[in-house]
Amino acid sequence: MTTTLSPTASLTFDVSRRPDPLPDAEREAILADPGFGKKFTDHMVTATWRQGEGWKDAKVVAYGPLSIDPACAVLHYAQEIFEGMKAYRHADGSIWTFRPEANAERFQRSARRLTLPELPVADFIGSLRALVEVDQAWVPEPGATGEKSLYLRPFMFAFENFLGVRPSAEVLYAVIASPAGAYFAGGVKPVSLWISTDYARAGAGGTGAAKCGGNYASSLAGQLEGAEHGCDQAVFLDSSTQTLIEELGGMNLFLVYKDGRLVTPAMNGTILEGITRSSILELATDLGLTPEERQIPIQEWKDAAASGELAEVFACGTAAVVTPVGELKWAGGSVDHRGPGHVDEVALKIRTQLLDIQYGRAEDTRNWLTRLA
Ligand SMILES: *Cc1c(COP(=O)(O)O)cnc(C)c1O
């Protein structure tokens, strides 16, 4: 990979405010009930990279369609990566984001795996700041559930019009933003999981550890199979032995034992290293839990649910934060660790702790927050 820029290079984002932003009343109506990923702010960031020239043309412009040639490489070979993060409005009106260096570094790792150019960490964070500065009216108040935010979606893709198979010599980086409501509109509700054995989302040596669109494309068939069996999500296993738990299509997974162990699959090259996951591992000891990263046979879940040792299961990621998991189903069977009167106490405690840090309601003792505006 030849990127000509030094890692500390800093782009300047040229701002062209659109003359026709959405009227205040219409924006407020969207922020009152934003849903997820349906409405977008007035502006977006774009920057381009060319082999031998590096990054240039960094700007904030009116949100709108990109013009893409039918021969654009990304449409054919899926050389694309993305990130997902949120901007949170604190009580004093200031706007913050959570561990953006971690997202920036993961974006660089994803770029290396997909042979895309690395964007310097400072420029990644600069691009978020540039967009949120201009569209700050789009960052909602936390609201009654205390968890509305502005979802930020940085992405990068092969932008060269060429059907030959090689890393693209031209790349587009962009950031769009979308107001997001409480993930669970009617309160936190456990999801059911389908064990996907016909389909894996990633394999050894593949792109499972990179945040790329292709992983999501390959997870959809398993997801759909799960839906056909009445499940909300699919859990993927390792593709070679189909015995070890990996993760969901877009969330990492934790098992909580009654003895206080908090267990999650260890990074193995095919699992995406979630920032929510690593934050939870860091918070675990504060919450009196014993974190464990290791291989987890899917049979262990079934056995521990049946024996009563398993207290809770939850999935985690930026969008939903922490989602309790209930029933586990597979071809020919199912198990549910929840007894009568079950409460997802640990999952909800972790969820509240993370949200309280993100919204400035709890002290940020680990310096996880960065101010955007
Ligand atoms: C983004 C993602 C996650 C969660 O990562 P966070 O940094 O916690 O949002 C988990 N699994 C996959 C496959 C992902 O793409």
Domain boundaries, the chain: 2-182, 191-358
Q: Which of these, 220, 212, 85, 100, lies nearest to 156 by C-alpha position?
A: 212
Residue showing tokens 């060429």:
162
pLDDT tens across the length of the chain (373 residues): 444 444 565 899 999 999 999 999 999 999 999 999 999 999 999 999 999 999 999 999 999 999 999 999 999 999 999 999 999 999 999 999 999 999 999 999 999 999 999 999 999 999 999 999 999 999 999 998 889 999 999 999 999 999 999 999 999 999 999 999 987 767 788 999 999 999 999 999 999 999 999 999 999 999 999 999 999 999 999 999 999 999 999 999 999 999 999 999 999 999 999 999 999 999 999 999 999 999 999 999 999 999 999 999 999 999 999 999 999 999 999 999 999 999 999 999 999 999 999 999 999 999 999 999 9
pLDDT of amino acid 146 = 85
- 268: DSSP letter: -
**Of ligand 1's atoms, which has the minimum distance to the CA of residue 201?**
13
pLDDT of amino acid 7 = 54
291, two tokens: 């974190």
pLDDT of amino acid 3 = 43
Helices first, then strands: H and E counts in the chain: 8, 18
- 172: DSSP letter: E
> How far is Cα 276 from Cα 99, in angstroms, rounded to an integer?
10
> How far is Cα 254 from Cα 263, in angstroms, rounded to an integer?
6
H helix or E strand, kind and range, residue 97: strand 95-98
For 191-358, CATH gives 3.20.10.10
pLDDT of amino acid 187 = 74
* Class in CATH terms, 2-182: alpha beta
pLDDT of amino acid 9 = 58
Say how many Å lie between the CA of residue 56 and the centre of ligand 1.
29
pLDDT of amino acid 8 = 64
Sign of the CA dihedral running 76, 317, 29, 173: negative
List, chain by chain if needed, residues with CB within 6 Å of any ligand 1 atom: 84, 211, 215, 247, 250-252, 272, 274-277, 317-318
C-beta separation of 329 from 229 below 8 A: yes
* Amino acid symbol at 142: P
pLDDT of amino acid 4 = 44
C-beta separation of 66 from 75 below 8 A: no
Mutate to test the pocket of ligand 1, among 220, 252, 253, 282 (most ligand atoms within 8 A of CB): 252
b/e per residue 180-210 (b: at least 16 CB within 10 A): bbbbbeeebebbbbbbbbebbbbeeebbbbb
- pTM of the entire predicted model: 0.96
C-beta separation of 354 from 283 below 8 A: yes
